[in-house]
């Protein structure tokens, strides 16, 4: 058995290990979510019926929802449903959580993908430009702008963008609902422009600075000095020698920021009333709709874990030295 394990491809071994760890983390997070929502102040039955509800009516609602059962019993029942892909029904509107959840998730992924398509190439390109003009005016300007963007919270950036593009230069009106038309239609571009631009600004600075730092770290290597002594110009050195060897840390940075684009969109979606997972999660927390809160939390955690796992595998594939550790 040991010989089989030792002969297994290191990438496959890593993938199996990450899947196992990810599964354990999902179970732990689901329990913490269940207990955390249970500890929130207030009571769903009383909030649903109003303050004038009689104790008998509250007791009937709690019995109907199974809230009169022990915590562990309710958790195990919900966990069994989650593992089979059934997140139950919303307490607030009796609708299927699965149906609403995946519609909202599609909207969030559409927004995050749009932001990533612009943020990733721009951030990597700006990082390479900053390295090329190191300690010169373009480098200083890029660093100042990136520090300013990192220092500002998401909601403040969102409000600045609203002021600029919704009040000074309006680009479109209407409710932020993704229509059924093709993804690249003009209507979709107008509706997601402001939240996508906010996300681009938020993640662009961090990815650019980490790209710059990774390439600068490689630039101090001996083989880079050899390339300089051979007379190669700086852009060629960066493009052919430094950037490919810095791809491993860049992949990790990009993956973490992509995870943020999906998991950290709650503030942005609330600001722009965007019908995604973040808005769905916040609305459910307000009324203590436990099935929805738990489902959103598990999906967010799953996306984060999967992207981190892909980042680990991608970093190893990009660096052959990591595939054969001593």
- Over residues 70-83, the pLDDT tens digits come to 888 888 888 888 88
Mean pLDDT value of segment 134-161? 85
* pLDDT level of residue 49 (50, 70, 90 thresholds): low
Question: Where a domain ends, among 83, 106, 141?
Answer: 83
Does some domain include residue 102? yes
Does some domain include residue 89? no
pTM attached to this predicted model: 0.76
Does some domain include residue 51? yes
Domain span including residue 48 = 2-83
- Same domain membership, residue 122 and residue 41: no
What token pair was written down for 50?
Answer: 């109003």
List the one residue out of 263, 265, 248, 262 whose CA is nearest residue 311.
248
Does some domain include residue 92? no
- Is residue 61 within 8 Å of residue 49, measured between CB atoms? yes
Q: List, in sequence order, the alpha helices (H) in 133-272.
A: 137-151, 154-162, 186-219, 222-229, 234-237, 243-245, 247-263, 266-271
Q: List, in sequence order, the alpha helices (H) in 84-175.
A: 97-132, 137-151, 154-162
- Same domain membership, residue 251 and residue 212: yes
- Same domain membership, residue 287 and residue 186: yes
pLDDT at 289: 81
Round to whole Å and give the CA distance between 264 and 304.
10
- Same domain membership, residue 103 and residue 15: no
For the ranges 65-69, 73-77, 100-104, 117-121, the lowest mean pLDDT is seen at 65-69
CA 263, 264, 270, 271 dihedral sign is: negative
Does some domain include residue 72? yes
Other residues' Cβ atoms within 10 Å of the Cβ of residue 26 = 16
DSSP at 165: I
pLDDT at 274 over 80: yes
């Amino acid at each position: 058995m040991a010989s089989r394990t030792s002969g297994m491809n290191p990438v496959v071994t890593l993938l199996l290990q990450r899947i196992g760890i990810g599964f354990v983390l999902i179970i732990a997070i689901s329990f913490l979510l269940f207990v955390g929502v249970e500890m929130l102040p207030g009571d769903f039955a009383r909030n649903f019926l109003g303050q004038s509800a009689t104790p008998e009516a509250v007791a009937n609602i709690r019995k109907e929802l199974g809230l009169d059962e022990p915590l562990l019993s309710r958790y195990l029942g919900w966990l069994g449903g989650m593992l089979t892909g059934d997140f139950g029904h919303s307490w607030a509107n009796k609708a299927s959580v699965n149906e609403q959840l995946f519609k909202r998730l599609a909207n969030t992924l559409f927004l995050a993908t749009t932001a990533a398509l612009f943020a990733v190439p721009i951030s990597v390109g700006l990082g390479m430009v900053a390295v090329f003009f190191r300690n010169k005016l373009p480098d200083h300007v890029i660093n100042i702008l990136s520090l300013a963007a990192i220092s500002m919270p998401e909601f403040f950036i969102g409000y600045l963008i609203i002021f600029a593009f919704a009040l000074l230069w309006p680009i479109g009106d209407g409710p932020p609902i993704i229509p059924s038309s093709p993804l690249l239609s003009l209507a979709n571009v107008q509706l997601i422009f402001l939240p996508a631009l906010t996300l681009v600004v938020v993640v662009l600075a961090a990815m650019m600075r980490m790209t710059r730092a990774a390439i600068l770290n490689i630039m101090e290597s001996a083989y880079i000095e050899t390339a300089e002594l051979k007379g190669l110009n700086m852009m060629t050195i960066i493009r052919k020698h430094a950037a490919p060897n810095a791809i491993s840390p860049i992949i990790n940075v990009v993956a973490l920021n992509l995870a943020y684009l999906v998991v950290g969109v709650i503030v942005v979606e609330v600001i722009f009333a965007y019908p995604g997972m973040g808005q769905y999660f916040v609305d459910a927390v307000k009324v203590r709709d436990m099935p929805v809160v738990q489902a959103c939390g598990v999906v967010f955690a799953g996306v984060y874990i999967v992207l981190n796992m892909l980042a680990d595998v991608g970093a190893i594939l990009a660096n052959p030295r990591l595939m054969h550790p001593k």
